[in-house]
Structure 1
Amino acid sequence: MKKFLSVLIFLTLFASLLTGCNKTEKNTTIKVGASVTPHAEILQVAKEILAEKGYNLEIIEYNDYVLPNIATDTGELDANYFQHLPYLQNFNEENGTKLVSVAAIHYEPFGIYPGKTKSLDELKDGAVIAIPNDGTNEARALKLLEAQGLIKLKEDVGFTATVLDIESNPKKLVIKEMEAAQLARALQDVDLAVINGNYAIEAGLHVNRDALAIEDKESEAAQTYANIVAVKEGNENNEAIKALIEALKSEKVKEFINKKYEGAVIPVF
């Protein structure tokens, strides 16, 4: 009898152990850092799709371009969605982070917006134009100013251009470098500002209605500066990340982007 009870107890414990193992589930929460507009708004649509697949998408909003990358590199975030590949590559070089792109989702055209001066034709000598102060976006802004004939950059300078690469400035324009997030707020204090798409949208500006000049959607900039989902190197094939990308590249998300942003945000998938 004692032997029988011992065997029964052993089998019961073994069965409990197996049951416990079977109930062990993967972590179904995906933490993604994003700019408020449009990235977090787009992620809200993806969140609905992911919920149907058993994933909980936790969206953490940021108002800068540094913290979400740091948080992704340290593992506080599973991914982030706010930047383009040239910015990510530059960030890795400057900060020693190891982040990689796993998908390109959309493109936001840069625009030149009016401040004190309401048109490019009215622009006077010595006018002040505000541009982003971070490496790749500064070059992008300068390229757009060059496309309007306002300045000329050194030949073959590419998307590493800074104000030091301005070869000709016939109107002696004052190019004021500022943090990208502050550009829209600075419009009242400058003649013009070249503003990143997400910050323009956040400020209630629409590139097709309010901008005096816009990046050509067929330009090199449009091909280069698609906004991406980034993860820490080594996490590219994580099942949750694959599910996130699948949701973001869904027809439902594409329809949302086209309807809500009317050309201010353009899907690239």
Structure 2
Amino acid sequence: MKKLGKLLVAAAFLLLVTGCSNSAAQSAKDETVTVKLGVVGDDTDVWDDVQKRLAKEDIKLEYVKFTDYNQPNDALAQGEIDLNAFQHQFFLDNYNKEHGTDLVSIGNTVNAPLGIYSDQLTSVADLKNGATVAIPNDVTNGGRALLLLQTAGLIEVDPDKGQTPTTSDITANKLGLKIEELDASQTARALADVDAAVINSGVAVDAGFTPTKDAIYLEPVDDKARPYVNIIVSRKEDANNKTYQKIVDAYQTKETEKVIAETSKGSSIPAWEDFGRK
């Protein structure tokens, strides 16, 4: 009987220890924080690498993928996601102004130069009189596209319009180019129907282009590019959220720089050192 009693006590102790271990494991699992990150398109290679470092901090990223630039800020403002990473500061400023929102940047990611692409031409010098050029139709990317066409020597725009000229602000158009305005996500698809298109880097990459190789003209990377540095965005009340700051820290690393260089083939440039953290 004494031996049986000892066996029962040992068994009970083993169950207790096992139960405690399972509870501890479950508790650790429950402590993992899931952050919903809004992105545009399917390319998450860089963020996948960031996720490896975040795992050590018990932070898990859940991607929420959107098909165009009009959706992620709406989702963030409405609390459907926690952060987004798809836009530059100028785009965000315009969104806040138009929608009365207070979304803020919590960290820089990359500078992704805008490019002019064509299925038919190998140089902007090959554009003929009356050629059709597609550009994004939103205020910030449309203005940026017109400024790029000006830098390429194709048009001139009213300098008083700053960063947001529209087609009505074109003051010189020596080739009589026809400017067709489309949603930014559609500019790459339009290449079959136009002579050239100004395409955002992320859209171009999703369409299979390597901007540094395939663009017939690429936006210069200089101090004028500062407003177009891509950013990680949160709601204002979450700007100092420690979990979100850890995500910024995990992104802004040498490891991320290497992945950006590999996956973009040099088309995207890390922007947290040259242009500051925020």
What band does the TM-score fall into relative to the shorter chain?
0.7 to 0.9
Residue aligned with 2:109, SS: strand
**Aligned position for 2:255:** 252
**Structure-1-length-normalised TM-score:** 0.87
2:76 corresponds to 1:77? no
**Aligned position for 1:266:** 269
**Aligned position for 1:233:** 236
Distance 1:95 1:69 in 2: 10
**Aligned position for 1:99:** 103
| 1:11-50, Cα deviation, whole Å (9 max, x unpaired) | xxxxxxxxxxxx7976711111012355x32211111111
Contact kept in structure 2, 1:110 and 1:197, CA below 8 Å = yes
Greater shift, 230-239 or 114-123, is seen at 114-123
**Aligned position for 1:161:** 165
Contact kept in structure 1, 2:32 and 2:60, CA below 8 Å = no
Distance 1:194 1:150 in 2: 13
Aligned pairs (5 A) from 1:112-191: 112-191=116-195
Residue aligned with 2:142, SS: helix
| 1:146-193, Cα deviation, whole Å (9 max, x unpaired) | 011110111232111111110011111100000010111110100010
Q: Which amino acid aligns with 2:270?
A: P
1:118 Cα offset (Å): 3.9
1:98 Cα offset (Å): 1.8
Q: Which amino acid aligns with 2:129?
A: D
Residue aligned with 1:121, SS: helix
1:265 Cα offset (Å): 1.0
Greater shift, 128-137 or 248-257, is seen at 248-257
Contact kept in structure 2, 1:130 and 1:177, CA below 8 Å = yes
Aligned-pair identity in percent equals 38
Q: Which amino acid aligns with 1:257?
A: I
Contact kept in structure 2, 1:99 and 1:231, CA below 8 Å = yes
Over the aligned positions, Cα root-mean-square deviation in angstroms equals 1.8
**Aligned position for 1:57:** 61
Q: Segments of 4+ in structure 1 off by > 4 A?
A: 23-27
2:36 corresponds to 1:35? no
**Structure-2-length-normalised TM-score:** 0.84
Distance 2:171 2:120 in 1: 26
Distance 2:181 2:31 in 1: 46
| 1:76-100, Cα deviation, whole Å (9 max, x unpaired) | 1110000001101111111222211
5+ long unaligned stretches in structure 2: 1-26, 273-278
**Aligned position for 2:12:** none
Q: Which amino acid aligns with 2:126?
A: E
Q: Which amino acid aligns with 2:250?
A: A
Distance 1:229 1:219 in 2: 20
Q: Which amino acid aligns with 1:232?
A: R
5+ long unaligned stretches in structure 1: 1-22
Distance 1:62 1:207 in 2: 22
Residue aligned with 2:93, SS: helix
| 1:117-142, Cα deviation, whole Å (9 max, x unpaired) | 44322211110000010111011111
| 1:209-250, Cα deviation, whole Å (9 max, x unpaired) | 111111111151x22201100001110111110111011112
Distance 1:266 1:133 in 2: 25
